[in-house]
Structure 1
């Protein structure tokens, strides 16, 4: 008797290209609404925290999400694999929507102080620990393997759109009705995603592709063991981790200090960030239109290496115009390598483990790399921007070295 595997179902199922598939477009619209809501939420939270407490207290509120997110992320991957990514994303968005609207109602009715803001931040962090692995695992269930690179490009465009639109929308909400209005807007945007996600069709895994469910702890250990033993995923996740560790510090804290050192001011820093956004958006658009790119492993490795050189060069840009152009190149190369690595991760991981694999990647990218920001700030204070950017570029470049030096990863291809 012939066994029908998950891959067979995806190869033989007819389908439109992802950017023309109504099912994928419903998912993309839901994802975009949720991301814009997130951006508005962070504007509202920061404004409310600054208005309610001291600068130090506001900083604690803004970082309160990080602890539960980092601690619970791996467990979130187990939940995503057990319950299915769509169900987890719907539940996560519903909880986030309810929490934000509850705080908005509380702010409309009274002036409760910092405690509801801190509690909201903790809830968001805990929910994000489940939401992020599920979001990463969901595209593989709504499209075919051959379309995953295109979907990564579409997802990148959604993230760029949310970062451009979310800030002004949050500011408008605060200007019109204060933090309560901005929280209400964020909750409504997140709410839009729920019915759209309910209408998205997902592929259920055949029984042969489902991992045997044990206890939560045994499932977690099985996922980590799977990643560690996988010939492609293990070096790929190491490359992603090194790239993120070298990228986050300079492009966040380091860039602020560089702009201050060069006298570019806030406006100049904004132009540099815009250059980065344009480059990353161009990379996402390229993947959306082209879909599959050949020699994915080599492309990811060389893109990381070239991007690391551009990161180091940014600290020595003689003019603001040069810095903006360099940032655009960084965004293009980082966006390209990030999308290709994401597509490789989704196509190489077995469907039953995809939530846990995504959780490991998210833990490094979201849970641990922010720790490099205070280290980068302290290092810039001690040695200046140039040496810190060069060291960060070297760390990022090691990710490219890993991708190119491991033969099975270097030869990895995206499916057609």
Structure 2
């Protein structure tokens, strides 16, 4: 049966609102953790370790998360992972209130969060093409991604204000409550998403993984789209995220100024998503992706050479805007051209490309800063490398350039 229109689609609306609440909670949580490390522990190198601890288990388990999403009801995966994250948040609040929130505890918490993310995001990204109409897929992706990015504007601002007037208990507790609300919204009977068809081929997880990788490798669209997202995240998204607290600390800033930088990035991505909701792009998407990729790195290069906070916030927003014109069209093009039975595995590979390479960026940036290289020099090198790789992708992928 054909799904109802987007504004009447109960399953999509619940998943969407769940995404809003959990991203709001995550954004408050991550800003609080970043500032706790930089301001209270006063050790920026620990920030890179914690960020890597989030990302490494995500990298290791992401593909298996996609395999699981092709075998198990997706709302079940989302509900269980959200519930476990609430438990982790509650434990962290207890640790903080008793002065037990050490670097070791933060690393363990980060590892658990990364592990759970590896199952949650392939499930939600492969669910959307199943519960919405094909002709509304671009709008559904843009609406979901854009509005959840909006939470990364609101969340850091709320967290920054709460940290200005109170302590970390306020932000940690608020984040836990929001994740709990998200858990309730994706309760499987509320969503009513279909159970995957039972498979009788007897394939193991490893053979499923090999099949998914071959599927991506065998398609120029899937292969080039994945490489494009890897370059974007490895050389721009990862470095810019890890640089925010380091830059603010070096400039003698406050948690509120950190929230402005993070909010600027989210504002840019949100605005781009709104544009893509209104402009249901269907033609010359490959060319647009490549042009946006090159523009993103040029804006990031300007960011790396700036020191004034208003200029940094503006360039962050502009780079985030351009980056979404890379990410969202690629995701939609891949979803449109992927067999439904393989969506979980393919979207886990795309999600891995979008976030799994961040620990490499986090680790490299942290090590270079610890070696007393100026953060501006490090970011300039990342932006330059990303721009050169973008030009190489454009040159080597003529078929993708012509894609609608």
TM-score normalised over the length of structure 1: 0.79
Indicate if the aligned counterparts of 2:51 and 2:362 stay in contact, CA closer than 8 A. no
Aligned: 1:352 with 2:341 = yes
Counterpart CA distance in 1 for 2:361 and 2:18 is 32
Counterpart CA distance in 1 for 2:378 and 2:88 is 44
Q: Which residue of 1 aligns with 2:393?
A: 402
Q: Which residue of 1 aligns with 2:269?
A: 280
Q: Which residue of 2 aligns with 1:367?
A: 356
What displacement does 1:299 show?
1.5
Q: Which residue of 2 aligns with 1:389?
A: 380
Counterpart CA distance in 1 for 2:310 and 2:45 is 37
| Corresponding residue to 1:299 among 288, 291, 312 | 288
Indicate if the aligned counterparts of 1:69 and 1:367 stay in contact, CA closer than 8 A. yes
What displacement does 1:29 show?
0.4
TM-score normalised over the length of structure 2: 0.82
Q: Aligned pair in 2 of structure 1 residues 231, 62: CA closer, same or farther (>3 Å)?
A: closer
- Report which of the two structures shows the higher radius of gyration computed on alpha carbons: 1
Aligned: 1:30 with 2:18 = yes
Counterpart CA distance in 1 for 2:308 and 2:158 is 32
Counterpart CA distance in 2 for 1:319 and 1:182 is 28
Counterpart CA distance in 2 for 1:128 and 1:355 is 14
- How many matched pairs? 397
Counterpart CA distance in 1 for 2:257 and 2:159 is 22
Please identify, of 361-370 and 378-387, the stretch whose mean Cα deviation from structure 2 is larger. Answer: 378-387
Please identify, of 163-172 and 332-341, the stretch whose mean Cα deviation from structure 2 is larger. Answer: 163-172
What displacement does 1:89 show?
1.1
CA-to-aligned-CA distance 1:101-131 (integer Å, 9 cap, x gap): 24435655x5545365443332212111211
Counterpart CA distance in 2 for 1:192 and 1:282 is 26
Q: Which residue of 2 aligns with 1:5?
A: none
Residue correspondence of structure 1 range 261-280 to structure 2 within 5 A? 274-280=263-269
Q: Which residue of 2 aligns with 1:189?
A: 178
| Corresponding residue to 1:239 among 228, 242, 245 | 228
Aligned: 1:132 with 2:121 = yes
Q: Secondary structure at the match of 1:65?
A: helix
What displacement does 1:52 show?
8.7
What displacement does 1:241 show?
0.9
CA-to-aligned-CA distance 1:56-104 (integer Å, 9 cap, x gap): 8964555433332222222222112221322211111111112322443
| Corresponding residue to 1:98 among 87, 105, 111 | 87
CA-to-aligned-CA distance 1:161-191 (integer Å, 9 cap, x gap): 2212222444566678754454333222111
CA-to-aligned-CA distance 1:304-357 (integer Å, 9 cap, x gap): 122223223344569766655544432221122211112122222222222222
Q: Which runs of 5+ in 2 are unaligned?
A: none
Q: Which residue of 2 aligns with 1:202?
A: 193
Q: Which residue of 1 aligns with 2:108?
A: 119
Q: Aligned pair in 2 of structure 1 residues 211, 125: CA closer, same or farther (>3 Å)?
A: farther
Q: Aligned pair in 2 of structure 1 residues 391, 180: CA closer, same or farther (>3 Å)?
A: closer
Q: Which residue of 2 aligns with 1:67?
A: 56
Q: Aligned pair in 2 of structure 1 residues 162, 407: CA closer, same or farther (>3 Å)?
A: same
Indicate if the aligned counterparts of 1:303 and 1:400 stay in contact, CA closer than 8 A. no
What displacement does 1:20 show?
5.6
Counterpart CA distance in 2 for 1:78 and 1:346 is 16
Q: Which runs of 5+ in 1 are unaligned?
A: 1-8
Q: Secondary structure at the match of 1:292?
A: coil
Please identify, of 80-89 and 371-380, the stretch whose mean Cα deviation from structure 2 is larger. Answer: 371-380
Counterpart CA distance in 2 for 1:190 and 1:273 is 20
RMSD of aligned Cα (Å): 3.8
Q: Secondary structure at the match of 1:15?
A: coil
Counterpart CA distance in 2 for 1:170 and 1:141 is 35
What displacement does 1:30 show?
0.5
Q: Which residue of 1 aligns with 2:332?
A: 343
Indicate if the aligned counterparts of 2:70 and 2:196 stay in contact, CA closer than 8 A. no
Residue correspondence of structure 1 range 167-178 to structure 2 within 5 A? 167-171=156-160, 178=167
Q: Which residue of 2 aligns with 1:4?
A: none
Q: Secondary structure at the match of 2:357?
A: helix
Q: Aligned pair in 2 of structure 1 residues 178, 297: CA closer, same or farther (>3 Å)?
A: same
Please identify, of 181-190 and 337-346, the stretch whose mean Cα deviation from structure 2 is larger. Answer: 181-190
Indicate if the aligned counterparts of 1:239 and 1:398 stay in contact, CA closer than 8 A. no
